[in-house]
Amino acid sequence: MITGKNYIGNSLQASGSNTHKTIDPKLNTENPTIFVEATNDEVDQAVDLAWSAFKEYRKVSGEKRAEFLNAIADEIMELGQELIDAYTTESGLPEGRAVGERGRTIFQLRSFATLVSNEDWRGNTFDEAIPDREPLPKDDLRKTLIPLGPVAVFGASNFPLAFSTAGGDTASALAAGCTVVSKAHEMHSGTAELVASAIIKAAEKTGMPNGVFSNLVGRGITVGTNLVNHPKLKAVGFTGSIVGGRALFDLASQRKEPIPVFAEMGSVNPVLITPNAIAARSEEIASTYAGSITLGAGQFCTNPGLLLTIEDGNTGAFIKDLAEKTIAIEPQCMLHPRIKKGFKENGTAVVAQDGVQVEGKVEVGVKENYADSQIVSVSGAEFLANPKIHQEVFGPFCVVVRSKDEQELLSIIEGLEGQLTGTIIAEEEDCNTLADIVDALENRVGRIIFNGVPTGVEVCPSMQHGGPYPASTDSRFTAVGTDSIKRWVRPISYQSFPESLLPSALKR
């Protein structure tokens, strides 16, 4: 049952006076539950409790942490239809998407449980002593990874389950041995509370310390600011806008003890389509990308917002076909009125730039919070000259760039900001001419796709979901897949230590 309160460890609290309601974007009406936002004192309580619990939880064996993660997955499933209903009424997303995202969340939790059920993930190293080495003896050295401490996880607007309360950030942090204080996204406060209740039940059933997890409610920046400023907080996970991620990054870096912020932010995910590919399968590519551009109302961080072509006799027909196929797809509900407002404003700003041509736009029959898909085009020269055309428009909006030649296309790629993905759509005969394109993309993106779509992020060890700034704040790490656990740990060496004092992972 949704109460509208904050979880401070296993205690429900609501001592504040600031409240809010979530919105059903399909109906454009408020949902009934009143959520009481966390006070400064409740934020302090949550982090203090997380720090106290961390001292115990960091020493819990990987096998027991795996039991905890699997129990969370079980308890989320026990929520049944209540969770699905909360998800759909707070997000405007369909039930099928809710069920699929719940499955992804469960899979992530179980994947991390498998990972930490033994110590191999730490990559422990052992350098044995050589006391008689000349000219100097060598001491015994052993290195492992240890958890950072309490982590703040900020729920994402576009993934109420998989990137939120029990999503990848929380799952990987708990797997690493960190405690978590979750800041619920205000759009999904009810969904977040239900998932938080599942985590608390799992913690109690598996004997985890009180404070291993808390969930806070709040609009605006007050709760998040107080959370990041707390001296006992040691790291932050965030998925969202460049503005929000950068604000948290700056806040964390200005603390007396700066802490890392692992923020996954904006990306237009450039897609290069060769002339040979357009000549060979123009209609197939247009159909595929119309679906990818509009998938989930374009509200994916890997949404293809930029298509790069080299202009020839087939380019115009391809762009026209892409536009027709895109706007023929039925408009979908966006996540929230504010997101629809931002979509309209940012799209309008791009269209207003010199040289930008509207190739197709949904003009009629669009409900209040539904997205009117749009395809625009611009020359390579105009794109290079105007950074305002480069900005992300969060929704089903795509800019097609008509480059005059390969050199101009390379200049466009090299001039882009950091991106999560880059895609190459090409024919076999193109492969011996793509080396420079691949080199340019390697310096701009975290994942390169060949003859596919960027939408769809597999949860596996080889996935890299992150890229050069502003795609993420640290391109060395991923926010998806089991390697994302490495964000929440740091290396430590033990030199000439007695066996009895070493952590169990380093004992022979």
* Per-residue pLDDT tens over the stretch 420-470: 999 999 999 999 999 999 999 999 999 999 999 999 899 999 999 999 999
CA distance 194 to 184: 11
Question: Which member of 90, 101, 264, 408 is catalytic?
Answer: 264
Question: Which member of 301, 359, 392, 408 is catalytic?
Answer: 301
Domain extents in the chain: 6-119+144-265+472-499, 270-450
CA distance 94 to 85: 10
Residue 67 annotated to the active site: no
Query: Are the C-beta atoms of residues 90 and 221 closer than 8 Å to each other?
Result: no
Mean pLDDT of the residues in the chain: 96
The 3-state DSSP class for residue 467 equals coil
Query: In this structure, what token pair is assigned to residue 248?
Result: 């948290």
**397: pLDDT strictly greater than 80:** yes
pLDDT at residue 450, rounded to an integer: 98
The 3-state DSSP class for residue 237 equals strand
Query: What average pLDDT does the segment 116-127 reach?
Result: 95
Return the percentage of the chain with pLDDT > 90, whole number. Answer: 97
Asked if the bond preceding 131 is cis, omega within 30° of 0, the reply is no
Query: Taking the model in full, what pTM does it have?
Result: 0.96
CA distance 389 to 397: 12
- Token look-up 């069920």 returns 99
CA distance 423 to 143: 38
Quote the strand ranges of 111-233, DSSP E. 125-127, 141-147, 151-154, 180-183, 213-216
Query: In this structure, what token pair is assigned to residue 221?
Result: 């920046």
Residues 49-93 have pLDDT tens digits of: 999 999 999 999 999 999 999 999 999 999 999 999 999 999 999
Query: What average pLDDT does the segment 382-395 reach?
Result: 96
Residues 163-214 have pLDDT tens digits of: 999 999 999 999 999 999 999 999 999 999 999 999 999 999 999 999 999 9
pLDDT at residue 322, rounded to an integer: 98
Question: Which residues are bridge partners to 125 per DSSP?
Answer: 143
DSSP state letters, 336-374: -HHHHHHHHHHHHHHHTSTT-EEEEE--S---TTB---E
Residues 235-244 have pLDDT tens digits of: 999 999 999 9
Class of domain 270-450: alpha beta
**508: pLDDT strictly greater than 90:** no
pLDDT at residue 504, rounded to an integer: 86
Query: Could you tell me whether strands 397-403 and 306-310 are parallel, antiparallel, or unpaired per DSSP bridges?
Result: parallel
Query: What average pLDDT does the segment 399-426 reach?
Result: 97
Q: Which fold has domain 6-119+144-265+472-499?
A: Aldehyde Dehydrogenase; Chain A, domain 1 (3.40.605)
Residue 301 annotated to the active site: yes
Residues 330-366 have pLDDT tens digits of: 999 999 999 999 999 999 999 999 999 999 999 877 8
Query: In this structure, what token pair is assigned to residue 486?
Result: 């490495």
